[in-house]
Amino acid sequence: MAGKTNGSHCRNSAINPMKQVGILGGGQLAMMLAQAAKKLGLTTIVFAPDADCPAAAYTDKFIQAEYENIAAMKSFAGDCDVITFEFENLPVNNLFALQETGQCIFPDPKVLESLQDRLTEKRFLQANSIPLAPFARIDKASDFSKAIEATGLPCVLKTRHFGYDGKGQSWISDAMQTAKAFDLIHHHPAVLEAAIAFELEVSVIGARNSQGEFVAFPVTENLHEDGILRRSHIPANCSSTIAKKAITITHDIASYLNYVGVLAVEFFVQRDGQLLVNEIAPRVHNSGHWTKGGANPDQFEMHLRAITGMDLLEPNCVAEITMVNLIGKDMADAQKWNDDGWDITDYGKGKMSKGRKMGHVVKIGS
């Protein structure tokens, strides 16, 4: 489990208002964080390897360097009151090194370390009696037969690290397919997970600050295609009992982690109403994009409020809204969505490629 930290090594405190926010990563999440920061009167410094990234045009300052470049990261940190990140695949040792110098980093790098590895993430859930799909650890080909006893068939093999948008996953419906599935994920350390015949998928976007205040946005229903989020909708088509339970689980996860910032918890809802946690994202999340246009504050402002020590506000949300991701060549139809009354956010990514999230659209109402 991630250690219990509360940013105690942080050289800043509530007495010093945090104004300068460093963001590791320059994608669309960093772009929308930088936009929200402006509204709050905060300035941002984005650190990313690619100068031609969505956030570059919106941040006050941009640093182009590799995440492994500790010298560049230390110099970046020197200008930041607090540092956050928009994605999980960061070298945590560099973040620990910054933290040792008294740098505030939220969410805590210890939480990131635990959640960037599917195995330690699942063990954290298990240790706290939070329901999740049966799983087993896979390090070598001979681990499969015992693992399948735990998961049954069908099941899904997932790399422990670096997975996103369904990447690094391989489905197995027959025990004969394990060797091929392992080859497909290049024999990386992995977990095998039971396939869940879920009724629907939902997520909760929650926020917690260092005083332990917690707020959540309404439960979102999510539809995935080929492992990638396609569509999110509120209200989720589940009972208020299930919705309340999903929020309670998210609250509990945030407090067990002594979490600071916005987090997303993805759930499978089974036919009998049981909730299983699929995964936890320690950051703002695609299934919360509807909040930009559908909630005040939105998830981006909420995250900044949490990490800079501001009060969290109970979000004021529309009753019904849909978000659709524009993936790959979908972006070519942007005008059509616009004509149909959808509000478009274009991530400004030059290169369109299959499976790449290029933008999203939202529409209020049914």
Ligand X SMILES: Nc1ncnc2c1ncn2[C@@H]1O[C@H](COP(=O)(O)OP(=O)(O)OP(=O)(O)O)[C@@H](O)[C@H]1O
Q: Point out which residues bind ligand X (CB under 6 A).
A: 133, 156, 158, 163-167, 193, 195-196, 201, 224, 227, 266, 278-279
Nearest to 297 by CA among 19, 34, 22, 36: 36
By a kind-dependent CB cut-off of 5 to 8 A, residue 156 interacts, out of Mg ion, ligand X, none, with ligand X
Alpha helices in the chain (DSSP H): 28-39, 70-78, 92-100, 109-115, 118-127, 144-151, 178-184, 240-256, 291-294, 299-307, 334-339
Least distance in angstroms from the C-beta of 278 to Mg ion: 6
Contact 210, 309 (CB under 8 A): yes
Least distance in angstroms from the C-beta of 39 to Mg ion: 28
Question: Residue 149, Cβ neighbours under 10 Å: how many?
Answer: 10
Q: Which of positions 122-181 make contact with Mg ion (CB under 5 A)?
A: none
Q: Count the site residues for Mg ion by CB under 5 A.
A: 1
Q: Which of positions 314-343 make contact with Mg ion (CB under 5 A)?
A: none
Query: Which DSSP letter does residue 219 get?
Result: P
Angle at 265 between CA 357 and CA 305, to 5 degrees: 85
By a kind-dependent CB cut-off of 5 to 8 A, residue 360 interacts, out of ligand X, Mg ion, none, with none
Least distance in angstroms from the C-beta of 87 to ligand X: 9
By a kind-dependent CB cut-off of 5 to 8 A, residue 196 interacts, out of ligand X, Mg ion, none, with ligand X
Cα separation, 209 vs 231, whole angstroms: 29
Q: Which is nearer to ligand X, 39 or 167 (CB)?
A: 167
Token pair, residue 38, equals 């402006």
The secondary structure of 276-296 as a DSSP string is EEEEEESS--GGGTTHHHHEE
The pattern of x and - marking residues 247 through 286 that bind Mg ion according to CB under 5 A reads: -------------------x--------------------
By a kind-dependent CB cut-off of 5 to 8 A, residue 133 interacts, out of ligand X, Mg ion, none, with ligand X
Q: Which is nearer to ligand X, 156 or 238 (CB)?
A: 156
By a kind-dependent CB cut-off of 5 to 8 A, residue 242 interacts, out of Mg ion, ligand X, none, with none
State phi, psi for 338 to the nearest 5 degrees.
-60, -45
Q: Which is nearer to ligand X, 53 or 133 (CB)?
A: 133
Q: Which is nearer to ligand X, 292 or 357 (CB)?
A: 357
Give me the torsion for CA of 323, 328, 333, 335, rounded to 10°. 70
Q: Footprint of Mg ion on this chain (CB under 5 A)?
A: 266
